[in-house]
Copies of this chain bind each other. A is one copy, B any other.
Amino acid sequence: MNGAESLVQTFVNCGVEVCFSNPGTSEMHFVAALDRIDGIRPVLGLFEGVVTGAADGYGRMAGKPAATLLHLGAGLGNGFANLHNARRAATPIINVVGEHATYHRQYDAPLASDIASVARPNSVWMETPEEATEVAAAGARAYAASMSAPGGIATLILPADTAWLDADGAADPVEIAAYSEVDGATIDKVAAALKNGKKSAILLRGRTLLADGLELAGRIQAATGARVLCDTFTPRMQRGAGRVKIERIPYFAEQAVEHIAEVEQLILCGSQNPVAFFAYPGKESWLTPPDAETLVLARPEEDSLAALEALAEAVGAPAQAPEHVALAKPDLGSGTLDADGVGRAIAHFLPDGAVVSDEGATAGLFTNIYTETAAPHDHMTLTGGAIGQGLPLAAGAALACPDQKVVCFHGDGGAMYTLQALWTMAREKLDVVTVILSNRSYAILNIELMRVGAENPGPKALSMLDLHNPELNWTQLANGMGVEAVRCETAEKFNDAFKSSMSRKGPFLIEAMI
């Protein structure tokens, strides 16, 4: 058994089932090991941003890491942006980054670069084994690091000779750092605060945004009148009919400030104080009201779910949340297609238990709102703001949840960053329906250009935000990668296309001309 085989066997023993891959020469022994050791499904991406974004989608839905296989610093660099998003989502991922053989590194060969420098910003753990016999144990540590609360990215830099030389076999598992317990005094303090008559809001993040956590929050709200909030962008939230609805903090800083202006006590539950996505001249960066007190119920690495449960008990919350979202499907649109019509159809036809990958940006706002009362679904968003995540995220989620329909709605500008994900969807026959919201624009930047105070933009500036010249044809792009697609210019056609796509299996793309 060589080093690569010992690593793959260690991953299999830990429960890793998928390896999203874009290998090169230095990773060939790892690739060969995937055949010799049973248990890991390799999934090829034709670009590393697809590989890392898919690993993020997989990890968010599976709650455990996929491995990635990347080719030296350049391959890791190509995957950087979606690893950044994954870091902000606290997604468990194990990167295996091939490196030149230990004795070859001194020669500064053409592909050599400082891999660690590219890995460090997104990694909670990073190691480079120097001997083949060290690889398996490093793999076990990587798994444990990625799964340690609240989850993160472990990067194992694998010199080629440590993969091909003889090793001893798989390593024993390493203990995972579980979520630490919130002490009773903290619970009591927050419970007391919730009863002191001040206006309170609880900001949820992490696993408290799944159904059980929301139910607890709904019960606490019923007992105390506290508002329940979530960040603008959340890794995974369960929403729709039958769930407890909470308030999403608006994207634009001035709206966010207004939205929570009345809050006198902000209670953090797996979350941090909200801040503006960008700075703007004359606008606030720190969004918590200046006179509000912040109380920490649970830090991200603490057991926020148990803390919420204890808090519900402490405030004498009712056994059930009194309010759950009632199923309310919007009427379908008609006539010329617009973003509103797209949102209506998606919310109308979304099946029970769907997984939604939302990178709709400005054009996706309607869909986001209408789906709040759609059939119950999982909702994933762009946690790190690095656009080009939605398609790979959908692919990864489909691999994690083969029995659930995955719906991706995506702005056209952002989708271009990682369009190669469509090929992986076709290759793996993933059950993903992609809706491209084609407005031929970086529409958000037209708004931001004004908001940052860049007045009277001229033609050069405006051309940097405009995708009309030439117009992208997403139907052709999808077909070129083996994905069936249809272009829709009327609401009727879109309604039909989306409806029928929900009752078939496999990848499909709808180009919504809005």
Contacts and interface: CB of A to CB of B under 8 A. Distances in A.
Given A28-B445, A34-B460, A80 B74 contact: yes
Interface string A380-392: 0001111010000
B279 A104 contact: yes
Interface in A140-161: 160-161
A458 interface: yes
Given A110-B385, A279-B101, A120 B122 contact: no
Contacts of A384: 74, 110-111
B32 A457 contact: yes
Interface string A466-490: 0101111111110111100000000
Interface string A87-127: 01000000000001101100111110110011011100000
B461 A34 contact: yes
A35 interface: yes
Contacts of A23: 445, 464
Contact of A78 (B104, B275, B417, B476): B417
A77 interface: yes
Given A47-B417, A107-B286, A458-B35, A74 B84 contact: yes
Interface string A405-423: 0000000010011011001
A285 interface: yes
Q: How many copies does the complex hold?
A: 2
Nearest to A37: B460
A449 B28 CA distance: 6
A470 B44 contact: no
Interface string A437-455: 0000000110011011111
From A108, A420, A461, name the one whose CB has the most chain B CB atoms within 10 angstroms: A461
Contacts of A458: 32, 35-36
Contact of A482 (B100, B233, B454, B470): B470
A24 interface: yes
Contacts of A476: 476-477, 479-480
A26 interface: yes
B84 A448 contact: no
A413 B481 CA distance: 12
Contact of A464 (B42, B386, B470, B471): B42
Contacts of A449: 28, 31-32
Contacts of A457: 31-32, 35
B77 A84 contact: yes
A471 B477 contact: no
Contacts of A75: 81, 386
A290 interface: no
B31 A464 contact: yes
Interface in A251-286: 272, 275-279, 281, 285-286
A379 interface: no
Contact of A278 (B104, B121, B451, B459): B104
A237 to B, nearest CB: 16
A77 to B, nearest CB: 3
A508 interface: no
Given A74-B386, A100-B279, A117-B121, A35 B459 contact: yes
A25 interface: yes
Contacts of A29: 452-454
Contacts of A109: 275-278, 285
A73 interface: yes
A114 B118 contact: no
A281 B164 contact: yes
**Across the A-B interface, the 6 shortest Cβ-Cβ residue pairs:** A470-B482, A77-B80, A35-B458, A74-B386, A476-B480, A101-B279
7 contacts: A25-B452, A42-B464, A46-B467, A107-B275, A107-B286, A110-B385, A117-B120
